Amino acid sequence: MPRAARPLIQTLRSFLRARQGATAVEFAFIAGPLLMLIFGVLELAMVFMVATTLEGATAAAARPLRTGEMQTSGTANKTEFTKAVCARMSWLGATCADNLQVDVRTYDDFTSLRDDPAMTGGNFNPAQTCWSPGGPTDIVLVRTYYSWSIFTPLLSKALVNAPGDKRLVSAVEAFRNEPYSDAPPTKANC
């Protein structure tokens, strides 16, 4: 063995015999997978939180459509409905209206409602959304779509279903409108 290699080999042997940093080295081996697991669980929890919040917000915002309150008050438009949904998803802040799409359609019977396929991440086109809240006793399908950005790199393969590393989360409400009157109510003389 050459003389120059002896100090290098002795240093390597003493390094391999040392036990002071064993815990740090072991943690270094598992730190990456542990952090990915933690971030993955947090990312998945956020997607579920968006989905749950969107379902509740859609149900609450669809109630004035079902009762005819929006139609008779003259505020039955897509912008006001989007604002109503976003008001119930306030934790998302100003990004809600930019990432939310609303699709409201009226049907003759529940069979045709069933046959209308939902838009998914692959075939979602905001230009194909509709706003038709219907009149008294009409069957209405309300669908809301929210684009959520996925941050964890390894989870993006499993969760992304829309272009641009996004998850398209949707909520659906189907109902028959109440038999409300199209005429605005008159004031009673009391």
Amino acid (one-letter) located at 126: P
Please answer whether residues 126 and 170 qualify as being in contact, where contact means their C-beta atoms are separated by less than 8 angstroms.
no
Q: Does 3 fall in a domain?
A: no
How do the pLDDT tens digits run along the chain, 190 residues long? 566 667 778 887 877 777 777 777 888 889 988 988 898 899 999 999 999 999 999 999 999 999 988 888 877 789 999 999 999 998 888 889 999 999 999 988 888 877 777 776 666 777 778 888 988 989 999 999 999 988 887 777 778 777 778 888 999 999 999 988 766 555 444 4
Is 125 domain-assigned?
yes
Scan for tokens 């933690």, then name that residue.
38
Q: What is the pLDDT of residue 190?
A: 40
Q: Is residue 183 included in any domain, yes or no?
A: no
- On whether residue 47 sits in a domain, the answer given is yes
Q: Report the Cα–Cα distance between both ends of the chain, in Å, rounded.
A: 112
Q: How far is CA 79 from the centre of its chain?
A: 19
Please check whether residue 40 lies inside any domain of the structure. yes
For residue 72, the enclosing domain spans 24-176
pLDDT of residue 50: 94
pLDDT for position 15: 72
83 belongs to a structural domain = yes
pTM: 0.77
H or E element in which residue 174 lies: strand 166-176
Nearest residue to 137 via CA among 188, 78, 171, 182: 182
Residue 53 is predicted with a pLDDT of 96
Does residue 57 fall inside a structural domain? yes
Q: In what order do the strands lie in the sheet with 139-149?
A: 100-107, 139-149, 166-176
- How many domains does one find in the chain? 1
- Structural domain contains residue 85: yes
Token readout for 35 is 């952090």
**pLDDT for res 89:** 93
